[in-house]
Structure 1
Amino acid sequence: MQYQTLPQLDEKVSKICLGTMTWGQQNTESEAHEQMDMALSEGVNFWDTAEMYPSPPDKDKQGDTERFMGTWFDKTKQRDKVILASKISPMDFLRDGQTRFNAEHISSAIDGNLERLQTDYIDIYQLHWPERKTNFFGQRGYDEEMSAQSLDDLTPFLETIQALNDEINKGRIRAYGLSNDTAWGLMRYLWEADKNGLIPPLTVQNPYSLLNRLYEVGMAEIAHRENVGLLAYSPLGFG
């Protein structure tokens, strides 16, 4: 197994990350436990989940993926062997479809993440996709509906960064990242953090595969120049 160092955490993580979004939908709890056993035995120490999972989304199953991981951590007592990433998700069945990346909602989401995962900290906490309307999930083009949305109606970037920095100071998360964001979004977070002397995002989790190479335009240069790691999801293009 090859490993990469995460600078803010000073930790070595496996270049292969265990994705978990089907647990609870396509995989049972026992199957999930078998996959975690196998992953760790093969040196895969980087695992990723989200409060929304399993996927496809189902409000009656929401959180089951984290619960399966939590029962595994409780059973094996090997939480310290894993670099764990999770997310706050703006789904319509979470927080009455009114998720904002403010201190209240971030704190509430982390409360739920930690309870389901049966842990007292998350290594990398991510914003599952932007609060604003933009062309994520591989969508091409930036249309009128997106451009018509005013940033004044959304949580200020600085407020989000401060909330995540507060969670780092509390010890509930160790670092934070973005997911399904754009080059403009990533640079805005980096700029606001730098201007205000705050901890910047460590990673961005975006799709990257032979079928989706949009990351190479703009985002790749930012990653290299600003030292932001890419967590490439669906590297096989959803199989």
Structure 2
Amino acid sequence: MKYTKLPNTDIKVSKICLGTMTWGNQNTEAEGHQQMDYALEQGVNFFDVAELYPVPANAETYGDTERIIGTWLKKTGNRDKVVLASKIAGGGDYTAHIRKGGLNKKNILEAIESSLQRLQTDYIDLYQLHWPNRGVNVFGTRDFPTSTASSEAENYEEILETLNSLVQQGKIRTYGLSNETPWGTMKYLEACKKLDVAKPVTIQNSYSLIHRGYEVGMSEVSMRENIGLLAYSPLAQGVLSGKYLDGNSPEGSRGNLFPRFIARYMGDGSLSAVRKYEAIAKKNRISLSELSLAFINQLPFVTSNIIGATKMDQLRENIGSIHINLSDETLKEIEAIHTEIPNPAP
């Protein structure tokens, strides 16, 4: 395994992070425990979860993924071996079953206590704001929704003061953003300077070979402000494994069970790009998944690459991508495709 540190901290994390959002829905508790056992054996010490999980979110399964991690931590006693990241859900209809009001002091304090209880731990290493209060272009929305421009933005100072009080109390070690934009990130940094408090260390945004929008603005923020990307959906919900090509929809796959989650990645441009990337992978005698993940693993603004799997063979392949180094020639071939079909998925 390869390691780095969460920016501006001494917290050592693996370059591969174990994503968990299928546990409690597509995966059982026993399977979640098996995945954590294997990941830790392979040197993965960084686990990412959210109070919202599993996905699709609903009132019946709310918090179950955190509970699965909590029972594993209690059973194994491995809390000191794991860097644990979680998230507070943002506001909106999608989270009406959790609470109302979005990100504010009351909700953050309520959310952190509930997560700590479910996770059976006294602290969370990295606590993240799952998405902003304001309307932004995330979750398949390509362009900024201008109709939301007049709506109220985040109460940045209240949020930051609350998060930093949790750091002082020892309930979290540090904090990060998620599904943020350059403007939103810089507003947080501006407020941090005003309040003289620690700034966010990471941003968890979507990034993959067919969705490289992070490079337009956000990658510069990452590198100039030292805020690392935690890349989620690096396989574009499985589309970059190639399993959905030629109209295939494997039984039990995410695309088969929840087709709306992969719809954003299934346009003609995306599928055309996937075929071209698949050809590069075959030329290099590696799988398309390995190519897709290895590309992200090598990027200078990426702190960790969040992989997820429902089956153990997928997990082994995804974690194993850390051992693949793409040549300059292969990287040039990838860039040629990106130039021809730039960011086909929103």
- In the alignment, structure 1 residue 32 sits paired with structure 2 residue 36: no
Whichever residue aligns with residue 94 of structure 1, its letter is: I
Deviations 1:128-164 (A, max 9, x none): 000111111242212332113133xxx5111101110
User: Secondary structure of 2:137's match?
Assistant: coil
Structural mapping, 1:22-101, within 5 Å: 22-90=22-90, 91-95=95-99, 98-101=100-103
**Counterparts of 2:35 and 2:132 in 1: how far apart (Å)?**
30
CA–CA distance in 2 between the matches of 1:138 and 1:195? 33
Q: Which residue of 1 aligns with 2:204?
A: 205
- Change in 2 beyond 3 A, CA 1:6/1:144: closer
Q: TM-score, normalised by structure 1?
A: 0.95
* C-alpha contact (below 8 Å) 1:51/1:66 kept by paired residues: yes
Residue 3 of structure 1 corresponds to which residue in structure 2?
A: 3
Structure 2: gaps (5+ residues): 239-346
| C-alpha contact 2:2 2:14 (8 A) present in aligned 1 | yes
- The answer to which structure has the higher strand fraction is 1
Q: Which residue of 2 aligns with 1:179?
A: 178
What's the secondary structure of 1:148's corresponding residue?
Answer: coil
Q: Which residue of 2 aligns with 1:114?
A: 116
Following TM superposition, where does structure 1 have runs of at least 4 consecutive aligned residues deviating by more than 3 angstroms?
Answer: none
Partner Cα distance (1:30, 1:105) in 2: 31
Shift of 1:196: 1.8
Amino acid at match of 1:219: M
Give me the whole-angstrom Cα distance separating, in 2, the residues matched to 1:137 and 1:222: 20
Residues 25 and 55, structure 1, Cα contact 8 Å, conserved in 2: yes
What letter matches 1:93 in structure 2? H
Of stretches 7-16 and 80-89 in structure 1, the one that deviates more from structure 2 is 7-16
What pairs with 1:210-229 in structure 2 (closer than 5 Å)?
A: 210-229=209-228
Distance 2:7 2:89 in 1: 25
Deviates more, 1:30-39 or 1:137-146: 137-146
* Greater share of helix: 2
Q: Deviations over 1:165-224 (max 9, x none)?
A: 001001000000011111111111011102221111010000000111000000000000
Asked whether the 8 Å contact 2:89–2:102 carries over to 1, the reply is no
- CA separation of 1:12/1:150 partners in 2, compared to 1, >3 Å: closer, same or farther? closer
Q: How many residues align?
A: 234
- Equivalent position amino acid for 2:96 in 1: D
Between the aligned partners of 1:9 and 1:142, the Cα distance in structure 2 is: 32
CA separation in 2, counterparts of 1:24 and 1:105?
24
The alignment partner of 2:149 has SS state of helix
CA distance in 2, matches of 1:198, 1:230: 21
Residue 198 of structure 1 aligns to a residue whose secondary structure is coil
Greater mean alpha carbon deviation, residues 190-199 or residues 112-121 = 190-199
1:146 counterpart residue number:
148
> Is residue 201–residue 227 contact of structure 2 (8 Å, CA) maintained in 1?
yes
Under a length normalisation based on structure 2, what TM-score does the superposition of the two structures give? 0.66
Q: In 1, are the aligned partners of 2:7 and 2:227 still within 8 Å (CA)?
A: no
- Alpha-carbon deviations, 1:116-136, whole Å to 9, x = none? 000000000000000111111
Aligned to 2:133: 131
Larger RCO (CA under 8 A, 6+ residues apart):
2
Indicate the percent of aligned positions where both proteins have the same amino acid. Answer: 54
Distance between the aligned counterparts of 2:9 and 2:113, measured in 1?
A: 22
1:232 corresponding residue in structure 2: 231
Gaps of 5+ in 1: none
Contact 2:8 2:226 (8 Å CA) reproduced:
no
Within 1, Cα distance between the matches of 2:119 and 2:83? 13
SS in 2 for 1:36: helix
